[in-house]
Chain A
Amino acid sequence: MAYRNHGEAADDGDTVTRDGIVIKPVYDSGDLAGIDPAEIARPGEFPFTRGIFPPEHRPKSWRAEHYAGFGGAAESRERYAYLKRMGTSGGMSIALDMPTQVGLDSDHPLAEGEVGHVGVAIDTLADVEELFAGDRLDQIGHVFCTANSIAPIILAMIIVAAQRQGVSCDSFTVQLQNDSLKEYFARGTQIYPVRDALRLSADTIEYCVRNLPEWSPLSISGAHIRGAGATALQELTYTICDGLAYVEEVSRRGVDIDTLAPNLELHFTVQMDLFEEVAKLRAARRIWAKLMRERFGASSDVAMAAWITTATSGVTLTAQEPLNNIIRTTTETIAAILGGANNHRVASYDEALSIPTRDSAKVATRIPQILTLEAALTSTADPLGGSYFVESLTSELERRFWAEFATIEQRGGAVASVEDGYFFRNIVASALRFQEDLDSGAVTVVAVNRYQSEAADDVPVEIFESDPDAERRQVERLRAVKARRDEAAVRTALAALAEATARGDNVVPTVIDAVRAYATIGEICDVWTKQFGTWDVAANAL
């Protein structure tokens, strides 16, 4: 059924979500009749619809981290320090530039013009050492990084950087995104064929679970799937299916589910349909808990309870009247809080124009602070629990999830559906439908397709200017590191990595040795592309 908003409600008052779910003008107790009360057990109890913490163990403050990075390591460090002074929690949340993410060194011809542009440039261990040259890693406490195709390398760099600081890896935590599957159909930093990327992700997860049990080696990410055009239901479904592929692969290697699952998180975006987002997060926890228990035999609560990180959406940010985006990210943050997200990232209002300025980043940090400390949104767990509407919508999303899940299972699960472009095609189709609705006016985006102002009336906002010299400095830095490293040690380490990769060993120990010898990310990825080849472009044909 086609999307219909309140302004175009049918005669009976019904509206329709983007997933075709009919929303009635009012819900009542009859709508709860079909819902087993066990599905909405107290927070902290299976299936965790109402949240993962029992009331007596709720964290005292809500975690809001701020994702950042640009230029070289030293410049990024200055921004992290500023954000910390503004009160962000969650340690250092590192955005990488595009060349780093796709395994190219800063002096690669394809990297030209992109070094340090949308994130920090990392070529060698020296850059990571520079990132952590201010506060020590145990003082920073927690590091998050959107490393996906290169996750084992960033993991190794952080481990060696800690060793060089004389800091125990038990005294801080690291979270890697490491969700390589979604890159192929949503985010676009894939390097190798799908199954080889899955293997490297699984190597990273397995290494952490066995050696660094407090670290979080996988953030199963729906946010980018949604950002690429998916509906809420597609985001929910494809994310969880991706997650199962990693759990299956690592379980196959003999890692116990009760050891593995507590170290994973689900990462969703929150868009503007507030109640749909709340219901999605609640449904995600319920579905994940059932899958961990029934499919993988998890027995502990922490293995079934999904920790959820949310992020406000890039899709809903507009270049027109950018200050309106503060209202949008605020609304989305309310949805994240009410949906029981455990950790949240807020985008800055200028991100449809450029990467954030210092001031726009500051406003973004203020939003969760004001909502939790002034508006008291976190005083009780799951405040919408028991709502006729929200419970009904949660159960409806779950019902639709299982239907599509069965289809994906029949097609061979997430890996097959990534490889043959099934997820990609469905997301593109949703993106096209959304654009048609935007163009026809069925969807309203204020100041974009309705109530537009003259461009001249727009409130001017300051735009981040990237340092045109950052690329040259980074390339010089890379050359200096290469000039002073022990070339023979690099060759030996890379040869050992190639052998371990070919044998099917977990690659992380040999990556650690290569990183310690200051091998570059590009050199390490070259070892893998020589063995694996590269991804199949045809799956992303438009």
Chain B
Amino acid sequence: MPSDIRVLLAKPGLDGHFRGVATVGAALRDAGMEVVYTGPRQTPEQIVAAAFAEDVAVIGLNIMTMSAARVVQRLFDLLAEDDAEDDYLIVVGGIITPADVVWLREHGVHGVFGPGTPMREIVEFIRSRVGEG
């Protein structure tokens, strides 16, 4: 079931843990999506530039060690500078405090996936929102 859904997986901040982003990336690829991984230690500026350059439909952020709200606010500000804030499905995963989960949902992040989320839930979420290409 190949599809044309292109996903950018990004690790903002300085954390280098990769188990979460690696498993999500593999699950999305298994589901036929094209996954571009930025590697760790990315600034919001680098992530937005990668999203533009790679022509992705989805931006997935893996956040483990920093305030998710702060990163996402910056990301949205940068997207807005190019009138691109509505162009992407934005999903976030990692260690996110409950307060940040509420903030992310209220501020336009489409999906927040914490520890223990089944991979199929993430795959189905992206597929249902982005469709087949």
Contacts and interface: CB of A to CB of B under 8 A. Distances in A.
Interface of A: 98-99, 101-102, 104, 109-111, 113-114, 117-118, 183, 187-190, 227-229, 315, 317-320, 352-354, 428, 431-432, 435, 438-439, 445, 448-449, 463, 465-466, 537, 540-542
Nearest to A230: B19
B19 A229 contact: yes
A352 B118 contact: no
Contacts of A111: 14
Nearest to A104: B14
Contact of A540 (B19, B39, B70): B39
Contact of B115 (A98, A352, A428, A537): A352
A353 B23 CA distance: 19
Interface in B11-26: 13-19, 21-23, 25-26
17 contacts: A98-B14, A113-B66, A187-B16, A188-B16, A315-B19, A352-B116, A353-B98, A431-B19, A431-B22, A432-B22, A435-B23, A435-B119, A463-B97, A463-B98, A541-B39, A542-B18, A542-B22
B41 interface: yes
B16 A183 contact: yes
B35 to A, nearest CB: 8
Contacts of B120: 439
Given A183-B16, A188-B18, A229-B22, 14 more contacts: A98-B15, A114-B13, A117-B65, A117-B67, A118-B65, A188-B40, A189-B16, A352-B95, A352-B115, A431-B19, A431-B22, A432-B23, A439-B118, A465-B97
Chain B interface, DSSP helix/strand/loop, else mixed: loop
Interface string B83-98: 0000000000001011
A188 B22 contact: no
Interface of B: 13-19, 21-23, 25-27, 37, 39-41, 43, 65-67, 70-71, 95, 97-99, 114-116, 118-120
A8 B102 CA distance: 39
Contacts of B115: 317-319, 352
Nearest to B14: A98
Contacts of A435: 23, 26-27, 119
A439 B117 CA distance: 9
Contact of A319 (B16, B17, B37, B116): B116
Contact of B70 (A99, A113, A188): A113
A432 B97 contact: no
Contacts of B98: 353, 463
B41 A110 contact: yes
A113 B13 contact: yes
Contacts of A542: 18, 21-22, 25, 37
Contacts of A315: 19
A228 B25 CA distance: 15
A113 B40 contact: no
B15 A188 contact: yes
Residue of B13, B19, B23, B95 with most chain A CB atoms under a 10 A cut-off: B19
A439 B119 contact: yes
Nearest to A466: B67
